[in-house]
Structure 1
Amino acid sequence: MTTIRDKLETILERLAGRAADERVFLRVYEEAARVAADAADARRHAGLSLGPLDGTIISIKDLFDVEGETTLAGSIALRDAPAADSDAIIVRRLRRAGAVILGKTNMVEFAFSGLGLNPHYGTPGNAADPLRIPGGSSSGAGVSVAEGTSEISIGSDTGGSVRIPAALNGVVGFKPTAHRVPLDGAFPLSPSLDSIGPLARTVQDCAVTDAIMAGEETRALRPHPLAGLRIGVPRGRLFSDTEPMVERAFETSLTLLSRVGARIVDHGIEDLLQEMADTTVAASIASIEASEVHADWLETKAKEIDPRVRWWIARSGTVPAPIYIRMLRRRRALAAAMDERLSPLDVLVLPTTAVSAPLIAPLEADDKLYNKMDWLILRNTMFGNQFDLTGISLPIPGTERPVGLMLIARHGHDRRLLEIAAGVETMLASGS
């Protein structure tokens, strides 16, 4: 039987072989991971287990605190910040569950983009094609799971930052309802919208990891029957400018769902999307809240921050407080309206991203193209955060490049969404 230590050493050997050009991991905890792996092997040998994650090799995004080290959040501007005095809550819970924490994965600086580029530490190439973007902001997380250097990776999702890299690298990415998983010890982007979620190879692995991070008992998922499932398709702006390959993969998935008896209907949310757009016309909630998070160093360390990140944050710092407070109040009302709108359905379904992963080089060379593509990549996922919903991206097999199928469910319906996703996952894998 292959031991946990054997698996870990294989990964460490792989990382050592590319150490001179490592862009997926920013830190690797070799010795601590070996100790955790040996402890997991000892428990296994004795017939003991701490649960379903015992001995699982897990990486964490660079914005989670680890005791004794400075949390950089993909930046160089925070190098002189104080070291964390304790692990983030989710890190503590994962360790108690027996997880082998391998290291910290690369990310977009301050988590502020859906593309995955990082000028300070290099951009991880997409696992399917290293010339293409990994998706962001949990860029290293998506690549790590897809390439097999982590079995599970933990990311954050404020506008799609778990689901986007999952979709573009061909793995599963789950965004829970915000604040279901504690944010303590996670460097914030937008406290109102931030959520913490796993990327993994299977829905079951995501469900187990989510339960542990949320402080719940773990239990096996029972895939929800798809026959009679009420599925809404939000045709409209979320389907414009969709890449033909993505569109074909999505429509094929709808055909499979129909074939197994799901009831698929067009379900309009255009009015609510427009109202949210009108509400946030001055600036996004995420960028306004980010301007407060970074207020102490945005100017003094301007030269150390990616200008594409800094510009948006600085711009939003000028939004008056009354505008922001009214924005939050209106968002709560719109979230309640969306919850009611979705009540006749089990899930919404749509492509996770409108396009597959574009090439890195043109985006690095052209800021206008960067901003245009960033908006398009984020468009389909970010409404889930704006309206406080839960969502998951599943890989659609048989495509030229990875494509994600996204299921969205109502606030707090996380477990039910995971059960439905497990059924859809089986259907996609079998092609029927």
Structure 2
Amino acid sequence: MSFDAFAPAHRIAADIRDGAISAEDVVGGFLKRIDELNPTINAFTDVTAERALAQAAAIDARRAAGMALGPLAGVPFAAKNLFDISGLPTRAGSKINRAHAPAARDALLIERLSQADAVLLGGLNMGEYAYDFTGENAHDGPCRNPHDLARMAGGSSSGSGAATAAGLAPISLGSDTNGSIRVPSSFCGVFGLKPTYGRLPRTRSFPFCDSLDHLGPFARDVTDLAMAYDLMQGRDSHDPACAVRAIEPTLPTLKDGVSGLRIAIAGGYFATDSMPEAQAAVAAVAEALGATQVIDIAGAGIARAAAFLITNGESSAFHLQRLRQHADDFDPETRDRFLAGALQPTAWYLQAQRARRWFHDEMIRLFETVDLIVAPATPCVAPELGQKTMMLKGETVPLRPNIGLFTQPISCVGLPVAAVPVFGGGLPIGVQLIAAPWREDLCLRAAYALAEARVASVKPPLASCN
């Protein structure tokens, strides 16, 4: 069997278990693609080739000996470089961190996938300290969109979205504080899952804003997304935010469909009248899911403002010592946002937390009447690299903060979201499928139904990225 970089991860694992292809051939094939394509796309900052080939050889040896292999046997994956990777300094997209000592141990989510026999290929490019929606890293260079190399991959999990879209890794890991899984998923045209806040442990990952940080997977296939998510579930006491909940597998329910679910379209704040690509994508998804009811999510704008203030307050406090000692080593745009947060009055932060609690309670009440909400992920397709402004509702506004227009209110209150890619006039754009806390299964069921109907789909990247 020949190597196929775009085969679903679950099919790769099945072929390796059956002996149709070796883990070494699969891993070697992906490493060759990275060597050929990464200089153009710039998705990887570190490639752990020796480690990956050694693990692949061990998997093949176990198969030859008749030993059982894990559910992701030989499947390559990669992780945003704010995840600890044994033997590498945890960059978190920064210049400052690369002087740190190498991590002694992998991040817990990397360990859990490795225990399922997935094979780590390396660390991925990202926005500095995750404070970014563009993927234009000042230290490692911009990550380019595989569907148009002149465009952004989205941030801050830029490398995760780009590597998955370009066929450099079937599964990747990212983080989402204000939209950093959903934005790259939207711009790069792949599936992404931001779980409920507290669902997946963040142990041995570099924080951005503790009360908003989530970790989650990207994939080209919904079954792969659910499988990776299920394998990473489980409480860990080292992350105090990680909830004490039983593991709730989503893979067995993936094909249950959406019949009987109360699905609504987010209107009001989430209206897309002047955003043609987003409007068309939401309409296509809503029609496929049978959603006709439009609901106004009251307070979404307030929640977004609260997310800004909470992010600024917590992140600037965390980085205050670095700002004092290494101010010149920051990307100036990141540094200035941290400095602004350091000057923010404490009263603003406290009021933002009160607003956050109010909006959370409003959303919980809303989910008494609906099961799933359809909303745009980004207001536009991927902008061009270097672009500083965008048109939004008839006004010219700064690009960087407004990419997260539709993602910030949702992550502010920790709701689970699946981002699904829709291709319209050429470039992809994402749609959010939003559920009540702990109902990732509903998000993934709807994503699977959309994929089966070919409304949500992943397409090959540019010929130059094949």
TM-score, with length taken from structure 2: 0.84
Q: Tell me which of 296, 299, 324 is aligned to 1:268.
A: 296
**What SS is found at the alignment partner of 2:254?**
coil
Structure 1 residues 345, 51: closer, same or farther in 2, change over 3 A?
farther
- Alpha-carbon distance in 1 for matches of 2:405, 2:433: 15
Letter in 1 for 2:335: R
Is 1:424 the equivalent of 2:423? no
1:408 aligns with 434
More deviation, 44-53/83-92: 44-53
- Alpha-carbon distance in 2 for matches of 1:105, 1:279: 29
- Alpha-carbon distance in 2 for matches of 1:226, 1:56: 30
Q: How does 1:259-408 map to 2 (within 5 A)?
A: 262-269=290-297, 271-277=298-304, 279=306, 283-363=308-388, 372-408=398-434
Q: Is contact 1:396–1:403 with CA below 8 Å preserved after alignment?
A: yes
Letter in 2 for 1:238: F
Letter in 2 for 1:164: V
Structure 1 residues 278, 74: closer, same or farther in 2, change over 3 A?
closer
- Alpha-carbon distance in 1 for matches of 2:408, 2:456: 30
**What SS is found at the alignment partner of 1:357?**
coil
Q: How does 1:87-236 map to 2 (within 5 A)?
A: 87-215=106-234, 216=247, 219-236=251-268
Structure 1 stretches lacking a partner, 5+ long: none
More deviation, 82-91/193-202: 82-91
Q: Is contact 1:190–1:286 with CA below 8 Å preserved after alignment?
A: yes
Q: Tell me which of 275, 299, 305 is aligned to 1:243.
A: 275
- Alpha-carbon distance in 2 for matches of 1:176, 1:254: 22
More deviation, 232-241/95-104: 232-241
More deviation, 112-121/374-383: 374-383
- Count of matched residue pairs: 420
What displacement does 1:124 show? 1.5
- Alpha-carbon distance in 1 for matches of 2:387, 2:254: 44
- Alpha-carbon distance in 2 for matches of 1:304, 1:405: 36
- Alpha-carbon distance in 2 for matches of 1:370, 1:28: 40
What displacement does 1:133 show? 0.3
Structure 1 residues 20, 127: closer, same or farther in 2, change over 3 A?
closer
1:12 aligns with 31
Q: Is contact 1:63–1:72 with CA below 8 Å preserved after alignment?
A: yes
- Alpha-carbon distance in 1 for matches of 2:366, 2:387: 40
What displacement does 1:428 show? 3.1
1:255 aligns with 287
Is 1:58 the equivalent of 2:77? yes
What displacement does 1:241 show? 6.6
Q: Is contact 2:75–2:170 with CA below 8 Å preserved after alignment?
A: yes
What displacement does 1:95 show? 1.4
More deviation, 243-252/17-26: 17-26
- Alpha-carbon distance in 1 for matches of 2:456, 2:303: 38
- Alpha-carbon distance in 2 for matches of 1:286, 1:88: 23
- Deviation per CA, 1:302-343: give whole Å up to 9, x if none: 211111111111101122334323432442232122111122
What displacement does 1:397 show? 3.9
- Alpha-carbon distance in 2 for matches of 1:328, 1:430: 35
Letter in 1 for 2:400: D
- Alpha-carbon distance in 2 for matches of 1:91, 1:8: 17
- Alpha-carbon distance in 1 for matches of 2:34, 2:450: 34
- Alpha-carbon distance in 2 for matches of 1:298, 1:427: 50
Structure 1 residues 233, 82: closer, same or farther in 2, change over 3 A?
same
More deviation, 243-252/68-77: 243-252
2:7 aligns with none
Structure 1 residues 162, 20: closer, same or farther in 2, change over 3 A?
closer
Q: Is contact 2:128–2:331 with CA below 8 Å preserved after alignment?
A: yes
**What SS is found at the alignment partner of 1:299?**
helix
- Deviation per CA, 1:123-146: give whole Å up to 9, x if none: 111010010000111001111011
- Deviation per CA, 1:212-261: give whole Å up to 9, x if none: 2123475434323333431111212222475323322322332333xxxx
2:4 aligns with none
What displacement does 1:387 show? 1.8
More deviation, 385-394/375-384: 375-384
TM-score, with length taken from structure 1: 0.90
Q: Is contact 1:242–1:354 with CA below 8 Å preserved after alignment?
A: no
Q: Is contact 2:262–2:370 with CA below 8 Å preserved after alignment?
A: yes
**What SS is found at the alignment partner of 1:297?**
helix
More deviation, 226-235/22-31: 226-235
- Alpha-carbon distance in 1 for matches of 2:275, 2:305: 27
- Alpha-carbon distance in 1 for matches of 2:203, 2:72: 21
- Deviation per CA, 1:56-98: give whole Å up to 9, x if none: 1000000011233321101111222233232211121121111
